[in-house]
């Protein structure tokens, strides 16, 4: 029989990270994280499978237990960190901020790794940067999604000065048009939307972006996450810009006690 525990000399990489994403999503987070991580880091992805999944918040709550399965699989394969992609799982769970913190701690202790959720990583990142007032670029998230994020942030003690998605900001006539883009948008929308949000909340300490939005800002208009454009946006706005992707990467690197390669904005550069 195969050993149930991995000794250090058996690990393929000194630091091993496992990611899971919402069902049926091919997610960029493992690729993005791997590209900015030192060569000592290995990355593995595990796509959840829920039959008839339609991205409902109720479906996230119903399948919350799959995160236990995910951590179990990753721990059996020597992962040091297991990370959950997607911001909505924390508020959809109904556990509240303290309940999510306890849940992450319990799974971490149970399986001998560190388990982090993107939605709670945002809270940890903001607290680490001593941020009090925020504005949320809710991007493609439809109202029930981003309003849940706002509620979670407020429960965590942050003052949300303004929040709204691309439809609220006036870039699309209907939410259905936003949905049709399937979270991939033209590159110029990044600058325009962040300028709009910053204008609505000039007193915000930081500007946030919800979920895992993609803009066509890469070579040949390849979609890119906020990670890739954070430094440009921060230079433009003069304040921190934090996405759920960068918050999650920050929390993982913090647990591994290593720094990413390159410059990716104030949060990651503060490690």
Give the CATH number of domain 128-243.
Answer: 3.40.50.12500
Q: What DSSP line would sit under 124-188, residue for residue?
A: HHHHHTT--EEEEEEET--HHHHHHHHHHHHHTT-EEEEEEETTTTTSSSSHHHHHHTTTEEETH
Strand partners of residue 161 = none
Whole-number pLDDT of residue 21: 83
Edge-first strand order for the sheet with 114-117 is 41-47, 15-21, 81-84, 114-117
Report the predicted TM-score, pTM, of the whole model to 2 decimal places: 0.94
Q: Other C-beta atoms within 10 Å of 144: how many?
A: 12
**Mean local confidence (pLDDT), 264-270:** 97
Cα 139-156-210 angle, rounded to 5 deg: 10
Give the per-residue pLDDT at 170: 98
Write the pLDDT tens digit of every residue in 145-160. Answer: 899 999 999 999 999 9
Contact 76, 46 (CB under 8 A): no
Question: What's the rounded Cα separation, in Å, for the pair 33 and 14?
Answer: 16
Q: How confident is the model at residue 59 (pLDDT cuts 50, 70, 90)?
A: low
| Cα–Cα distances in angstroms (integers) from residue 12 to residues 79, 123, 234, 245, in the given order | 10, 32, 36, 25
Please, is 182 exposed, middle or buried when counting C-beta atoms within 10 Å of its C-beta (0-12, 13-18, 19+)?
exposed
pLDDT higher than threshold 90 for residue 29: yes
Which has more confidence, 22 or 33? Answer: 33
Write out the residue limits of the CATH 3.40.50.12500 domain(s) in the chain: 13-122+247-264, 128-243
For residues 28-34, give the mean pLDDT: 95
DSSP 223: -
Q: What is the pLDDT of residues 111-167, one digit of tens each?
A: 999 999 999 999 999 999 999 999 999 999 989 989 999 999 999 999 999 999 999
Of 46-50, 82-86, 213-217, 227-231, the one with minimum mean pLDDT is 46-50
Written out in words, the top-level CATH class of the domain with range 13-122+247-264 is: alpha beta
């Amino acid at each position: 029989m195969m050993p149930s525990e991995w000794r250090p000399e058996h690990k393929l990489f000194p630091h091993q990270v496992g990611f899971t994403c919402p069902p049926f999503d091919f997610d960029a987070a493992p690729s993005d994280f791997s590209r900015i991580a030192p060569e000592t880091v290995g990355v593995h992805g595990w796509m959840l499978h829920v039959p008839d999944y339609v991205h409902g918040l109720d479906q996230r709550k119903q399948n919350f237990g799959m995160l236990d399965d995910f951590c179990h699989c990753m721990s059996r394969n020597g992962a040091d960190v297991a990370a959950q992609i997607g911001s909505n799982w924390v508020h959809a769970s109904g556990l509240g901020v303290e309940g999510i913190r306890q849940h992450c701690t319990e799974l971490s202790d149970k399986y001998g790794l560190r388990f982090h959720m993107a939605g709670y990583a945002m809270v940890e990142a903001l607290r680490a940067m001593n941020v009090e007032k925020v504005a949320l670029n809710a991007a493609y998230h439809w109202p029930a999604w981003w309003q849940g994020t706002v509620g979670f942030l407020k429960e965590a003690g942050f003052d949300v000065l303004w929040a709204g998605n691309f439809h609220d900001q006036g870039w699309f006539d209907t939410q259905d048009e936003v949905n049709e883009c399937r979270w991939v948008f033209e590159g110029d929308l990044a600058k325009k939307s962040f300028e709009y949000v910053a204008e609505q909340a000039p007193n915000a300490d930081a500007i946030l972006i919800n979920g895992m939005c993609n803009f066509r800002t890469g070579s040949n208009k390849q979609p890119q996450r906020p990670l890739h454009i954070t430094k440009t946006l921060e230079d433009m706005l003069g304040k921190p810009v934090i996405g759920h992707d960068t918050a999650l990467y920050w929390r993982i690197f913090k647990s591994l006690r290593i720094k990413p390669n390159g410059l990716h904005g104030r949060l990651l550069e503060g490690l």
